[in-house]
Structure 1
């Protein structure tokens, strides 16, 4: 007879557990890029850690940067078929291609959309912008030049910014630079060059000093192909550039900095954007109307430098910059 109360308690607990599982929300994350891409791992990791126990997560990858337009279209069709079965409570769309491909799709189904890493104008991707929210990405080119001028002083008079020909690059130049490929800031002349392939990238890097530049900033470089049409991994681009550049080589992304990579820069973080998007997702899951959650520009960047590359290029950070604890993050 003593087993009956125990059995009843066990069954009641089981019912509560099943009920909780049945009521768990579903969040679908659709990434523009591939799963091994460091940027993707960082923001997805932040989202998954923050939603653990709160929602089930379904993750898809469009692999846009490494594939042909035809293959990208096929990937969109495959993910669309999967989403037809899932019908999530919230869709998270990372970077421009995912928002362009699925923003309107989810809006039409009445599913809230949170985006991150978007450089373009959201109105170009969805008709009802009040039904989407998220993190607008603005690579910190101008602010980076200001900091580099402070660090390099009179050594920096002309700076070359190199970008690939991707959708993100074109959107950034249009939205953040107002299509200006040359400008001056803090008495530094800045030129923005867009390359069509890896060979052009290499040629620009190698000829930068003889063309009168004093430093290079790598903008967006994750969509480069060699002469045979083979995709060149971003990490390989950065390692080659750091080795072969005749000038100090800086970057706009935290994943680009370290030994045998970029010297440093005022950078954006995938973790930060993932955490900012996570807050919005949680608010929606808690019942808040998405129309009350306004898009924001990604939080200010972080100064990160490689100790190894600073020594290699004989660059000393100003004492005022390093005195403020936490203002600069130093990595190997």
Structure 2
């Protein structure tokens, strides 16, 4: 090969490197250290939040931004992690227990301060309160925002123009709920049920799901008749009305019960309320998230927290690593998770669940009934 040919090959190789190496680095994300700020509406011990955290971490591991289970565990335990590829920071609004207007405003002010200090490349916002109250602080700013866990269509918070074309710096993942599917599968499991009541706290999450079920009932798309709903944050009232309703119906749709308060205004733990319900209401029941099957509810068609976290982080990584524009990324809902049965609740209700072919996952214990 002549000197001229070798020189031309050298120049060509250099040009190829200049074009393709930066592109490869951009696709892997390893050419720089990304700063990701995550806000959860809730608290660390909330079962839904734990499921979401597993999904967030699974996506980070898959991308290589987290390199090991040890790093995942460190981030989950400490809410901070830094390696050569990523700096992670997570904060909790704790709005299941601290949900007055003043408490939420104080939480938002503190988060805005921490965001300014952290200087993130992207912000992830978990569930309705963070998406609404924090998200509206950053719409149309230079920081991309990705939400997860918004109940129903997220257009109502003013963060996006439409599901298909968000139009701003915000996109994300919403919860479809799979409320109709829950009722249909409960009817298949217990064909004799004819009537149902809805039991919920008076939280944004609970209210939105009650309205969604009531809309389904109005359009006659349910195999049972919805007789009424209990929506309150007063624990004693919640119990009293649940007992009264149990005399009128033969099944329950149990929604969120995380913002209940006792007569002194103290937060009532979800599992405490769950224990009372399981011990005092002996009716077939369903709920929409795995956490409630873990608690002890009979049947769940899972609107998966894991999928919410995983899909939201995947969208965030597409923005960071591939340069995608959030204004053009459609807002989506994950496919449903498994049909889950709690064996202990089935036993309490005297139900024979052997040979049921549509059950996809079993849970043997009820966390709310543990000592």
Q: Give the one of 108, 126, 139 matched to 1:94.
A: 126
Q: Secondary structure at the match of 2:123?
A: strand
**1:283, CA displacement in angstroms?**
0.7
CA offsets, 1:225-248, max 9 Å, x none?
111111011122212211111323
The structure with the largest strand share of the pair is 1
1:166 aligns with 2:199: no
Q: Alpha carbons of 1:209 and 1:192: their partners in 2 closer, same or farther (altered >3 Å)?
A: closer
The alignment's TM-score, normalised by the length of structure 1, stands at 0.84
Matched position secondary structure for 1:232: coil
Whether the 8 Å contact between 1:138 and 1:172 is mirrored in structure 2 is: no
1:125 shift after superposition? 2.4
Q: Tell me, yes or no, if structure 1 residue 282 matches structure 2 residue 317.
A: yes
CA gap of 1:243–1:266, structure 2 versus 1, over 3 A, is same
Offset at residue 173 of structure 1 (A): 4.2
Partner of 1:57: 88
Over the aligned positions, Cα root-mean-square deviation in angstroms equals 2.4
Q: How far apart, CA to CA, are the structure 2 residues paired with 1:180 and 1:49?
A: 34
Are 1:268 and 2:268 matched, yes or no?
A: no
* 8 Å CA contact retained: 2:286, 2:297: yes
State yes or no: 1:25 paired with 2:34: yes
Give per-residue Cα distances to partners, 1:192-224, cap 9 Å, x unaligned.
33223211221132223322x111121122111
Gaps of 5+ in 1: 1-19
Q: Identify unmatched segments of 5+ residues in structure 2.
A: 1-28, 61-65, 68-84, 161-165, 365-371
Contact 1:149 1:186 (C-alpha < 8 Å) held by counterparts? no
Distance 1:90 1:248, change over 3 A: same
After TM superposition, the structure 1 = structure 2 runs for residues 1-332 of structure 1, keeping only pairs within 5 Å, are 23-51=32-60, 52-53=66-67, 54-67=85-98, 68-119=100-151, 121-128=153-160, 129-130=166-167, 131-154=169-192, 156-174=193-211, 176-177=212-213, 184-190=220-226, 191-211=228-248, 213-258=249-294, 261-286=296-321, 287-317=323-353, 319=355, 321-322=357-358, 328-332=360-364
- C-alpha distance in 1 between matches for 2:253 and 2:177: 11
Counterparts in 2 of 1:239 and 1:298: CA distance versus 1, 3 Å:
farther
- Output the CA distance in 2 between the equivalents of 1:183 and 1:124: 22
C-alpha distance in 2, partners of 1:217/1:173?
A: 9
- How many residues of Structure 1 are paired with residues of Structure 2 in the alignment? 305
Distance 1:270 1:187, change over 3 A: closer
